[in-house]
Amino acid sequence: MNISIIQAMINLIDKPAIFINPEYTILAVNEAYRDTYDADIRVGASRCFEVSHGHNSPCDQHGEECPIKRCVKTERASSVIHIHNTEHGKTYCDIIMRPIKDADGITAGFLEILDKINFATVESHANKMIGASPPFKAMLTKINRAASSEIAVLLHGETGTGKELVAKAIHESSRRAEKPFVVIECTGLNENLFESELFGHEKGAFTGASYAKKGLIEIANGGTVFFDEIADVPLSMQVKLLRLLETQCYRTVGGLKQKKANFRLICASHKNLLNLLESGEFRKDLYYRIAGFPISLPSLHERAEDIPSLALHFLNHSELGHKRFDVTALESLIEYSFPGNIRELKNIVEQAALLANEDLITVDDLPEHVQISAQRGSELKALVSLEEAEEMYLRRVCESENRPFDELAELLGVSTRTLYRKLKKYELKYP
């Protein structure tokens, strides 16, 4: 295979890219890739995992999935989310790996293209999503792919999972990033105000309209509109919203001139919209307009391994950022179910920091309901099988009792023969 042709092809790619052989050696590299890493890249000698991770062996030997292995197995392009050591520290990268075949149809190497993810991190950083768990990484892949498209996105997740932060990440990573990001809170938006808030109104359009007002759709022109809790929009208003999405046109209240709407649509709901479709509380035609690309946000309970990093992040950005959690306090936080998700964790961290008399935050500084939950979790973990419990109980009996054997059997509610058989089973001797 002609490496010079591959090098010329890679030079045309605007994202960091390399061509590597099946032994992970870099045979061609573009300048964008060189600029991404501090490491010196020697074509024909450096291996990809040495440059991106500082490892001396492939990624799958260090807890990450190797995209090359998947390419070899499926003979198709594969993608993974990895954490690379870039010029900006530990950075998430969305990696696309494509097998390149020679004239005989044999895989000669792999084209790797990197897409750096700037909206997420594994370290404490303001206004970025933080985590490293598999559910978190899976969500990052979908967010990154959605950001590169104009498709309508529907975010679904429990209250407090960070839906607005995800919506903002999609907007700021899209081609509309320089335009406005407008949030429309659907909860409590009554029918009388719906059209006025969304489309604006002319002076004198209704009682109290003493001046003309721009609507949120016009303010968001060229940018992104985020409808938060879209399930709370009443049916009568859903029709008007559907008309806006279908025609991309609207009129201000009291206005005659038709205006053109230009915005990217992102919606979010903690309610199951499919269930609302079945009950007739949400229009099917509207659902299929807004659910072009659904993204499910994992609950904090599903990504419990991210709790220590998030707790440290919230502590760092609090008034008492010099304090730290001890190991047992962090273990208690991991045991807690967090029905309020990330928002609740932030509140708990701030409470514990205030309650702690020392710089080290302990279990006793956590809110009482968190302590109780952790204690129950420990008790559940301490459960043993009935057979193990029986053996432990009979062992204690043999060590503490000295009454006649038949009397002991009667107290235990079994025959002497049964008691003898059980003691023999557990190799116990009664004095």
User: What would be the CATH architecture of the domain defined by 304-381?
Assistant: Orthogonal Bundle (1.10)
**pTM, two decimal places:** 0.81
Residue 382's pLDDT is 59
Distance, in Å, from the CA atom of 256 to the CA atom of 202, rounded to the nearest integer, reads 10
Looking at the predicted structure, is the pLDDT value of residue 205 above 80? no
| Burial label, 126 (beta-carbon count in 10 A; 0-12, 13-18, 19+) | exposed
Confidence label for 381 from pLDDT (cuts 50, 70 and 90): low
For residue 42, the tally of other CB atoms under 10 A from its CB is 13
Going from N- to C-terminal start, the domains of the chain cover 3-117, 129-296, 304-381, 386-425
Confidence label for 370 from pLDDT (cuts 50, 70 and 90): very high
Distance, in Å, from the CA atom of 208 to the CA atom of 196, rounded to the nearest integer, reads 12
- pLDDT one-digit tens code per residue, 383-427: 667 888 788 778 878 877 778 888 888 878 889 899 989 999 988
- pLDDT one-digit tens code per residue, 219-243: 999 999 999 999 999 898 999 999 9
Confidence label for 377 from pLDDT (cuts 50, 70 and 90): low
- pLDDT one-digit tens code per residue, 122-142: 888 888 999 999 999 999 999
Segments of 30-106 assigned E as strands: 78-86, 89-101
Question: Which residues fall within 8 angstroms of residue 205, CB to CB, at 6 or more apart?
Answer: 196, 252, 253, 254, 255
Segments of 345-416 assigned E as strands: 360-361
Question: Which residues fall within 8 angstroms of residue 287, CB to CB, at 6 or more apart?
Answer: 273, 274, 277
What is the CATH number that goes with domain 129-296? 3.40.50.300
User: What would be the CATH architecture of the domain defined by 3-117?
Assistant: 2-Layer Sandwich (3.30)
- pLDDT one-digit tens code per residue, 76-120: 999 999 988 887 778 899 999 999 988 888 888 999 999 999 999
Instruction: Tell me if 275 sits within 8 A of 309, measured CB to CB.
Output: no
Distance, in Å, from the CA atom of 132 to the CA atom of 121, rounded to the nearest integer, reads 8
Question: Which residues fall within 8 angstroms of residue 86, CB to CB, at 6 or more apart?
Answer: 36, 37, 93, 116
Residue 383's pLDDT is 66
SS3 321: coil
Looking at the predicted structure, is the pLDDT value of residue 191 above 80? no
Distance, in Å, from the CA atom of 379 to the CA atom of 402, rounded to the nearest integer, reads 32
Distance, in Å, from the CA atom of 391 to the CA atom of 200, rounded to the nearest integer, reads 76
Mean pLDDT of the chain: 91
Residue 22's pLDDT is 92
Residue 281's pLDDT is 94
